[in-house]
Amino acid sequence: MWAAPYPAGSGKVNVSGGTAELLVHNACVFDAFTVPNSFDPTHALGIFSAIINSMKIEWSGVTRSVPGFSDATNKFRGDFFECSATIAVSATTPKDTGHGFHFESNPATTHTNFAQFGTEHSGMFF
Amino acid sequence: MNDEKSISWKKLQEKWLTRRNLIRGAAGTAAGAGLLLGSGLRLPALADDEDEGHRDRCKAVPRPITHISTPPGAHFFFPGPVDASPTTSPNTGHDPSVITDFSGMIANADLIFSGVGTDLNTGMSASYDFHADMRFMDGVFVGLDSERHRATIGFI
């Protein structure tokens, strides 16, 4: 599970306005180089500290609404809104790791395979 | 849609490209190949905002959803509609959150985008295509400690 805390207020959802936003600065992460190495518990290729210098994801342009959805099998319910999104991200693996690398995205190139935002209540809140 | 999109995600996974191979392969071309930012950059821990400043306390850990998508054998669904068919799309769609016992706001995005990657040791740059699954959950969760916590949790 690749989850981590973001500072309070990093993520915002405006259901009535049909938008959502995630804005993160200086998030400490790990650079595992490849997808399989990331999944490998031994990280045979190594794993190094890295930083997401900044990341901004914006959700907008609702194309499909799924209000009042409920899934008893997976124990979650909520209102969900499918839409498009754009991302601007800058990430760095410091040079002193011996694997110095920097990536700077071009937000204009973003292609949305799938995006959505909404409200959710799961588990004991289902 | 989601079976098709899941297949697209899997195709990118199957490329298994290293960053260095990508630099060599993509230099001078209009675009590199796929690399999954979300899996290449892993985060180490979970915490809740309420515990900030309490350095003598362990951070609260949310409970993952029970579903496991295999491969890779992890507690999440691939991105897709919440009302996807469990028969034809057992691992895609459904719950967008990766934590349960949660109440709040969610957003997720399965994105393909391009940018410039630079090897800081050689100064060599090349164009990259990235495929990323980004999510956040903002609200209240009951953690493994059975206590309620308020936090913004990212999935990257």
User: Residue A2 falls within a domain, yes or no?
Assistant: no
User: Residue A7 falls within a domain, yes or no?
Assistant: no
B129 pLDDT tier (thresholds 50, 70, 90): confident
User: Residue B69 falls within a domain, yes or no?
Assistant: no
Task: Select the residue from A53, A116, A121 to test the B interface by mutation, using most B Cβ atoms within 10 A.
Answer: A116
Number of domains, chain B:
1
Q: Are residues B19 and A76, on separate chains, in Cβ contact within 8 Å?
A: no
User: Residue B28 falls within a domain, yes or no?
Assistant: yes
pLDDT at residue A42 is higher than 90? no
Give residue B147's domain range. 2-64+97-155
3-state secondary structure of B109: strand
B55 pLDDT tier (thresholds 50, 70, 90): low
Percent of chain B with pLDDT over 70: 63
User: Residue B105 falls within a domain, yes or no?
Assistant: yes
Q: What is the DSSP letter of B21?
A: H
Alpha carbon distance A113, B109 (integer Å):
8
User: Residue A88 falls within a domain, yes or no?
Assistant: yes
Percent of chain A with pLDDT over 90: 68
A85 pLDDT tier (thresholds 50, 70, 90): very high
User: Residue B113 falls within a domain, yes or no?
Assistant: yes
User: Residue B90 falls within a domain, yes or no?
Assistant: no
B6-52 confidence digits (pLDDT tens): 444 444 443 334 443 343 333 323 232 233 343 344 444 444 444 44
User: Residue B102 falls within a domain, yes or no?
Assistant: yes
Residue A63 CB-half CA count within 13 A: 11
Give residue A101's domain range. 21-125
User: Residue B80 falls within a domain, yes or no?
Assistant: no
A30 pLDDT tier (thresholds 50, 70, 90): confident
Alpha carbon distance A1, B70 (integer Å):
13
Average pLDDT, chain A: 92
Alpha carbon distance B95, B76 (integer Å):
8
Residues 65 through 84 of chain A touching chain B, CB cutoff 8 Å: 66, 69, 71, 73-76, 78, 80, 82
| Cα angle A112-B95-B137, degrees, rounded to a multiple of 5 | 75
Query: Which residues of B fall within a CB distance of 8 Å from A62?
Result: none
User: Residue A45 falls within a domain, yes or no?
Assistant: yes
Token pair for A77: 């319910």
Number of domains, chain A:
1
User: Residue A78 falls within a domain, yes or no?
Assistant: yes
Token pair for A32: 């595992």
Rounded to the nearest 5 percent, the helix, strand and coil shares of chain B are 20, 40, 45
A45-72 confidence digits (pLDDT tens): 888 888 999 999 999 999 999 999 999 9
pLDDT at residue A105 is higher than 90? yes
B85-97 confidence digits (pLDDT tens): 999 999 999 999 9
User: Residue B78 falls within a domain, yes or no?
Assistant: no
3-state secondary structure of A122: strand
Strand-pair category, A101-122 with B125-142: unpaired
